[in-house]
Structure 1
């Protein structure tokens, strides 16, 4: 964003020439949301006062509300042959748990752009905007100048730490984009998404901001000594980096013309020119060849759009790694840095499965997130690594009826002491899991791609499930209110933490407090300032 960034550049240069360098711009550090969360953290008991986090791993289960965690816990247990209720997902064993209030400044039920910006910057903001505070108008580039926010990723880069993120969504999608981009519109993923007025005002699309990240940060902080760019970027979304011409298609392109860009920029080539020792990969074979001990930078874009659901991953033409495999590889690369690392891991397709009304995929992707957390625990030192697991928001996903213990979580309700399915007042059986709104009933049998739900209009009313196998991958639960897609929920979500500073998540907190927990535990701001002295 030429207009916005030039203003931010002036501000940041003014700050960095100060003898007592300040990292955060005044509009961020003095923001009431920022100040309130900082004070709230200061009032919490400090149970590990002398321990500091060298490394930070932030896991985001996009849309992973409490009901999703409970149902996934049961499903994982039942997959192991147990009743299920007694099971624990990996992160449920963490010593500290709290709740996060997810509302956006302008929305009772939030979106991922506003929530992730809060988590990663310490400032709550409006729905739909990325990396900027609430004093903007969504979609209006002219209002951005002077409202950009410094993120955890920015601080880690300034501090000389290794940095990275992995996601099962497009790397330009709202949650990962909040790490590195400043945009008044979450949907501006490539230049073809920008209106002419935004282009004329000097706005830059999210994909371009990712490729230009190191250069932009160096311009903002010219005295910082150790900025070297994001070491690991893994996910989907190739289309936003490629020109809209067939000759630039990847070998596994799903569309006749894979790329969306109409500005003639080939951002993958630009990245390779910027990092000649880096590795760009697009498939599982390339991923497997990455040698962590020698990898300088990695850009992995495994799909034209989002990556596959975990249960559908076998259908990817070129092959995709799992979330846990990406997490393990990213950790092996980032651990090479003596100064420590910051890694964000997003299980983004939990959210997409819920929007499609498909509990099977939402729960299986949640279980895979738990597997990724297991890998993080196994490959890091708990004495020096803060791990935080949370969701950006929930969904209108319910567990209901009075099913007996051990009843299949994806099945029909069978009441305690009974054998056959319970009947509702309309004489039809019903499932434990359902949605308050959305596309409603579909029976796609063993189809593992939840997105096939959108090929049919929303279905209202009840269906006779007597002869329907509701445990199949392609079963989509009934919904009360018919909508073109299921919506987010507005209730609090859980936050789990372990490692130095983890006790900061205790209690019921504003979502933006998570930034402050990480910042304090890893001393990110202090370490960043030290690089400018």
Structure 2
């Protein structure tokens, strides 16, 4: 009877034969796989107490979006993209994270950030509020406020910082310091009439600075801190109608205020006074368009430098907020350039900290309705057309694959959004067909990916996201977990005996 090579291999393994005896042992893939196993075997749990905890959240950077960022970064570096490794992907521990909320199969960023800050899930739209409260119900807010990781850190004597490329009053950064029955109450004009049980989010940031909870806050959203009739540094008017200029009030407390890259670069005495950076009236610029304001990596470096002056350590939340916004716009190029900027911030955090005493968790709050087409050959530009697989080599054939309509399609599309191929007609109905697109057109930074369902803004999805960790108690991250478990990992690492 003839013995197959597979059977021989099984026997070799069963008898304890060395892996190098296998016929595939000379393959680079095989040796790389063996090296990975050796690395995993050498892993030892780090059970030091975490002096510092850094939570990096790329808003909307789920598994599929992260995959696209990986390819883009690798292709920008001159490779095919697939085998590129993002900084967080070098971390030894990871898990898949379930992002649903108590009332939503698909979440928004308020309850997802709250889950990571408080250890419990809650309803869409609310921040750090018990699920017992009806969204927007001021009357039932008292007694249903949740204690946050930032508050616990401050009680332990640690410094607290929050950095975002979105408005600092937006859902994810607000979860560090605010409690609100509605994430949209960013200044006093959003509060419903008669709501006297909570302050608006910008006013809560002021209170956080005043009380010593917040030592550093950097992002956008200047308009929510300035009153109507007052012009900001960029010539725009504030939106507050209560007459308060919260920037001036924070400066009166001794805070250092910066608003562009020049004033940011001139920061002095890092760590000796609260630092407030408000670099745009609304969100900070996309990385592709950024000018006159610091990058996320630069803000990360300043935050770590400032907070590290506290011998008791710090908790720092860093958000790449505009990955989410570009996904909503259906504009893949800006998704990916902001994704790369976020990866640079992750690398900055790695380079500036010590794994022995700093827990770093890198994750996303949710995914988007982004989709990957097939069957693309390797090296197909991630923002371009899906090219054919080369049966005689590695890199794609250079010939775009065609749909049944005879037209090429891009590597990435969306299930819904502003790039929908269905166009509203005069009678209110929707119809249409996919337009022709060339590789050059698809790779234009302003191109909107083709989508199916017509919507002015593409939606989130309920798909899992990944979380990566290194440092003290990073080994607690694993398997498929609920999003609120991330709080418990960070809390345990900070308080472990």
Query: Do Structure 1 and Structure 2 share a fold, with TM-score over 0.5?
Result: yes
Taking the TM superposition and a 5 Å limit, the aligned residue runs for 1:97-116 are 97-116=94-113
Cα shift at 1:66: 0.6
> Is the aligned partner of 1:285 residue 2:267?
no
> Is the aligned partner of 1:390 residue 2:363?
yes
Residues 441, 476 of structure 1: 8 Å contact kept: no
Match of 2:213 among 229, 251, 257: 229
Cα shift at 1:492: 0.7
Which is higher, the Rg of structure 1 or of structure 2? 2
Residues 292, 332 of structure 1: 8 Å contact kept: no
Tell me: CA distance 1:109–1:484, structure 2 relative to 1, closer, same or farther (3 Å): same
Give the secondary-structure state (helix, strand or coil) at the position aligned to 2:362: strand
Inter-partner Cα distance in structure 2 for 1:51 and 1:466: 54
Structure 1 match to 2:437: 465
Structure 1 match to 2:35: none
Cα shift at 1:47: 6.1
> Is the aligned partner of 1:438 residue 2:420?
no
Q: Gaps spanning 5+ residues in structure 2: where?
A: 1-42, 391-396, 422-429
Inter-partner Cα distance in structure 2 for 1:75 and 1:463: 24
Inter-partner Cα distance in structure 1 for 2:432 and 2:360: 42
Taking the TM superposition and a 5 Å limit, the aligned residue runs for 1:298-337 are 298-314=275-291, 319-337=292-310
Taking the TM superposition and a 5 Å limit, the aligned residue runs for 1:18-29 are none
Cα-Cα RMSD: 1.9
Structure 2 match to 1:451: none
Match of 1:162 among 159, 180, 199: 159
Inter-partner Cα distance in structure 1 for 2:46 and 2:63: 30
Worse overlay, 420-429 or 124-133: 420-429
Worse overlay, 101-110 or 205-214: 205-214
> Is the aligned partner of 1:347 residue 2:313?
no
Structure 2 match to 1:178: 175
Inter-partner Cα distance in structure 1 for 2:209 and 2:265: 26
> Is the aligned partner of 1:523 residue 2:495?
yes
Give the secondary-structure state (helix, strand or coil) at the position aligned to 1:249: coil
Q: Gaps spanning 5+ residues in structure 1: where?
A: 1-45, 219-227, 443-457, 527-533
Structure 2 match to 1:243: 227
* Deviation per residue, 1:378-424 (Å, 9 max, x gap): 11111000000000000011111111111111110111134321111
Taking the TM superposition and a 5 Å limit, the aligned residue runs for 1:113-124 are 113-124=110-121
* Deviation per residue, 1:122-166 (Å, 9 max, x gap): 010000001111000111101111111111111111111111011
> Is the aligned partner of 1:380 residue 2:353?
yes
> Is the aligned partner of 1:475 residue 2:455?
no
Inter-partner Cα distance in structure 2 for 1:50 and 1:96: 14
* Deviation per residue, 1:342-396 (Å, 9 max, x gap): 1000000000000000111111111111100111111111100000000000001
Residues 384, 440 of structure 2: 8 Å contact kept: no
Match of 1:133 among 130, 135, 146: 130
Inter-partner Cα distance in structure 1 for 2:46 and 2:163: 31
Give the secondary-structure state (helix, strand or coil) at the position aligned to 1:425: coil
> Is the aligned partner of 1:90 residue 2:67?
no
Give the secondary-structure state (helix, strand or coil) at the position aligned to 1:514: helix
Structure 2 match to 1:423: 402
Give the secondary-structure state (helix, strand or coil) at the position aligned to 2:183: coil
Residues 169, 349 of structure 1: 8 Å contact kept: yes
Cα shift at 1:105: 0.3
Tell me: CA distance 1:68–1:242, structure 2 relative to 1, closer, same or farther (3 Å): same
Inter-partner Cα distance in structure 2 for 1:64 and 1:112: 12
Taking the TM superposition and a 5 Å limit, the aligned residue runs for 1:486-505 are 486-505=458-477
Inter-partner Cα distance in structure 2 for 1:250 and 1:267: 12
Structure 2 match to 1:511: 483
Inter-partner Cα distance in structure 2 for 1:106 and 1:441: 28
Match of 2:202 among 176, 194, 207: 207
Inter-partner Cα distance in structure 2 for 1:118 and 1:383: 26
Cα shift at 1:97: 0.7
Give the secondary-structure state (helix, strand or coil) at the position aligned to 2:176: helix
* Deviation per residue, 1:267-303 (Å, 9 max, x gap): 11111112x2x21011110000112546421000000
Inter-partner Cα distance in structure 2 for 1:433 and 1:326: 31
Residues 129, 145 of structure 2: 8 Å contact kept: yes
Give the secondary-structure state (helix, strand or coil) at the position aligned to 1:280: strand
Structure 1 match to 2:48: 51
Residues 329, 458 of structure 2: 8 Å contact kept: yes
Inter-partner Cα distance in structure 1 for 2:198 and 2:192: 10
Structure 1 match to 2:375: 402
Residues 380, 411 of structure 2: 8 Å contact kept: no
